[in-house]
Amino acid sequence: GHIVRNWKVRWFVLLQDKLLYYKIEGGKKELSPKGRILLDGCTITCPCLEYENRPLLIKLKTKTNTEYFLECCSREERDSWALDITGAIHAGHPVQVEELHRKKNSFKLLENISLHHIVEKMYDSSTGIKLTHNLEQGNRYKETFTGSALVDWLISNSFAVSRFEAVTLASMLMEENFIKPVGARSTEATRYSDLSEQFLDDSTALYMFAESSNRSVSSKEELQFNISELSGRIVKQGFLLKQGHKRKNWKVRRFVLRADPAFLHYYDPTKEENRPVGGFSLRGCLVSALEDNGVPAGVKGNVQGNLFKIITKNDIHYYIQASSKAERAQWIEAIKPLT
């Protein structure tokens, strides 16, 4: 409502140049419309994330700057209305309508897209993804977001055009261990071999930030913590192979071991920016060499030997390959006193 900011059920009828809405009395719409929204010069925002507890909104802004917030019953209904309203807004411009349907049905991610940049935006305290407490099958999960909420956020921030694109982006974020599934619904989906089926665009599938994601922070307290963990004295650094958490492939990373405070960070040597792509505190960690006669459980891919494992206090397992037994021993000896 424009005067009293409450929410009321209205029956909407979309015409070629306007959107009519009717009052409901006794389960039936009245004969005369309660109001109308002229679509000429309108702009539409979908998904609209201005109301944190109302994820199914469409926002219409007329050329006289009047704003209308319309809430639908499902994401499918919301997206269908948004597409039809957008088509009506651009009805006099057939080229724009054709482009609209092309984008809706095509798949083309932004060129040179940076997953690190997306994660930084996700962490933004004002415009990032909203973290909430969720309940699933009697279990309570803190600081989580749903799959459909992330898809909406990616589209509203112009990282993707369609829901299919957003699901693919979200799958990439999960594969690179920026986000992880929590709860039975989302964890079960990761058993699929097809990447496009591992992330669920679903309001019952829960996800959270992975511990090793490169977090961008804004509050002074958290910023000081981040600076402090990178300000320790460098004890050892060098190139090692690290196994990924999702794809289980091996990538070359430059590891930097710091003391006071004790942290192990790893960097992507192919990127010019000198910031870690992951890292963790060594407090409470366990580090051990793995025997070369046979590949241990949890290790896949091309293993040359000289493996060692680090288990964090949160029970996250890191598998790392050194170039020789001597180098492996040196790293283990350097890490152990800092745990």
Domain residue ranges in the chain: 10-105, 115-216, 227-336
Span of 155-159, 269-273, 284-288, 326-330 with lowest mean pLDDT: 269-273
Q: What pTM value is reported for the model?
A: 0.47
Q: How confident is the model at residue 145 (pLDDT cuts 50, 70, 90)?
A: very high
Does the fold of domain 227-336 match that of domain 10-105? Answer: yes
Q: What is the pLDDT of residue 285?
A: 93
Q: What is the pLDDT of residue 314?
A: 82
Please identify, in words, the CATH class of the domain defined by 115-216: mainly alpha
Topology (CATH level 3) of domain 10-105: PH-domain like (2.30.29)
Please, is 196 exposed, middle or buried when counting C-beta atoms within 10 Å of its C-beta (0-12, 13-18, 19+)?
A: exposed
Q: How confident is the model at residue 92 (pLDDT cuts 50, 70, 90)?
A: low
Q: Are 173 and 122 in contact (CB under 8 A)?
A: no
220's tokens = 């002074």
Q: What are phi and psi of 140, to 5 degrees?
A: -105, 130
Cα separation of 193 and 335, whole Å?
Answer: 35
Please determine, for residue 193, whether its predicted confidence score (pLDDT) is greater than 80.
no
Dihedral of the CA atoms 94, 100, 102, 103 (nearest 10)?
160
Residue with tokens 């261990």: 177
Q: What is the pLDDT of residue 224?
A: 41
Architecture of domain 227-336: Roll (2.30)
